[in-house]
Structure 1
């Protein structure tokens, strides 16, 4: 399963016993330590569920990953149902996120969810600022690209698309697991190269391996992000949880 949230989450491969070998994305560290500064020079805020400041598992190269809070699409078999509500997570100023990204050793930002396009207006500002730093932007959405370009697109969608280099579009379909391409959950989801930055990956995506990252904090808390099958995740966590004793798995 793919989990995230501010509370402790225990992973289990038995939550969806009828799904054949899903390949979930697992964001598990909350935005603790990211200050919400009311005196910020920007009045734009984003409601976020989780942040990983440096990861090699959430897109091309090393990236700063942000999981947004709130989603009305609510795909059947969603890995992150705790991100559906628009009242959870934490409000963070866009300029604070920009400074965090500037300080990180990354080549770009990945925006996941939740549903990023439900906060497209502030996220378009974030994406624009990140590109001005010379970094790339990858965005995931449950919407189809055609809808985001159409007259009924969410507020700010055009701006977020304009500042996205690589888009992954389409709902997660649990009955169509993608066991080949990296970063995506089901075969209907599409890679959209909206700039030339990652066009060179178009013919080599199948050669890029998925990754799972495990971090152990000084307090024994274990955080995991990336892609893995449920069986692989169960084996991984069984191997690290026993010796930790008091540690938490998130």
Structure 2
């Protein structure tokens, strides 16, 4: 059981984003494992950790790092809320069918749904697959909280590779894959990826683009500002960010992403093609 204390404002860390501290009232514990809030699932991607992996973006994050690429995943609203058990089993089946070696949990903040996230993670581990978890909290704090929070302890125990720490937009990491800023850690919690970390700098960053049947375009992974400008400038309007429709929201953002790593999930609705530029039509 978690200790109760009176709410207080998040602590301001020098040179870092304001990071709420669990158990002080700023992040109410969500110890119910029966349901999980999520925004997106990919059964197979090569951009969200080592090898081909499934990726699950959780909805909801109280850390809210400045420069986060996933502000649309901060609030609880806009999420699918589903029963955890059957959902987890279905994800495992899809991941195996997609040829994935494991699952990456990101968001949003997986440790703010630690109980439900642990159920999903254990389902993958029980199937012989690996788990990578991104978090904006520090590993040292998670270990301390885990002494009193079974849900946090459970998610740590079901994680093979942990990327931890808040994203700092003024400290971009240009050397390591998957990680957004130089303050963030990458730790093997089991032996599964321990050898990989010895030469992690040789792993490439990737960006993936998917076009849905309705024409909307989804991206995940990481790319530079110039690369994103070239890819997205003429495609249309970002539909997933608060305030979409404004001039600022209409211009695709780039740069590093969320406290949960170099990941972003824009959805872009293509602009209609003028009649005089459509294939087979003349003015």
* Fold shared, TM-score > 0.5 on shorter chain: yes
Report the Cα distance in structure 2 between the residues aligned to 1:157 and 1:50, rounded to whole angstroms.
22
The aligned residue for residue 114 of structure 1 is 108
C-alpha deviation, 1:142, in angstroms: 0.5
C-alpha deviation, 1:77, in angstroms: 1.4
- Which is greater in Rg? 2
Query: When the two structures are aligned, how many residues end up with a matched partner?
Result: 204
Task: Judge conservation of contact 2:47–2:206 (CA < 8 Å) in 1.
Answer: yes
The aligned residue for residue 138 of structure 1 is 132
The aligned residue for residue 245 of structure 2 is none
Question: What pairs with 1:60-139 in structure 2 (closer than 5 Å)?
Answer: 60-94=50-84, 95-104=86-95, 105=98, 106-139=100-133
Distance of aligned partners of 1:178 and 1:101 in 2 relative to their CA distance in 1, 3 Å threshold: same
Distance of aligned partners of 1:155 and 1:77 in 2 relative to their CA distance in 1, 3 Å threshold: farther
Report the Cα distance in structure 2 between the residues aligned to 1:132 and 1:126, rounded to whole angstroms.
10
- Which of 1 and 2 has higher RCO (CA within 8 Å, sep 6+)? 1
Deviations 1:62-89 (A, max 9, x none): 1111111111111111111121112331
The aligned residue for residue 17 of structure 1 is none
Q: Which moved more, 1:51-60 or 1:217-226?
A: 217-226
Q: 2:197 aligns with which of 180, 199, 202?
A: 202
Report the Cα distance in structure 2 between the residues aligned to 1:186 and 1:50, rounded to whole angstroms.
24
Task: Judge conservation of contact 2:92–2:127 (CA < 8 Å) in 1.
Answer: no
C-alpha deviation, 1:245, in angstroms: 4.9
With normalisation by structure 2, the TM-score equals: 0.67
With normalisation by structure 1, the TM-score equals: 0.76
**Structure 2 portions without partners, runs of 5+:** 1-32, 237-269, 274-283
Backbone CA RMSD of aligned residues = 2.0
Distance of aligned partners of 1:186 and 1:224 in 2 relative to their CA distance in 1, 3 Å threshold: same
Report the Cα distance in structure 2 between the residues aligned to 1:134 and 1:151, rounded to whole angstroms.
28
3-state SS of the aligned residue for 2:209? strand
Deviations 1:139-184 (A, max 9, x none): 0001111110114776611000000000000000011001111001
Q: 1:169 aligns with which of 160, 164, 172?
A: 164
C-alpha deviation, 1:246, in angstroms: 3.7
C-alpha deviation, 1:216, in angstroms: 1.6
Q: 2:142 aligns with which of 139, 144, 148?
A: 148
Report the Cα distance in structure 2 between the residues aligned to 1:155 and 1:133, rounded to whole angstroms.
22
C-alpha deviation, 1:53, in angstroms: 2.0
Runs (4 or more) in structure 1 with deviation over 3 Å come to 151-155, 238-241, 244-247
Report the Cα distance in structure 2 between the residues aligned to 1:44 and 1:97, rounded to whole angstroms.
11
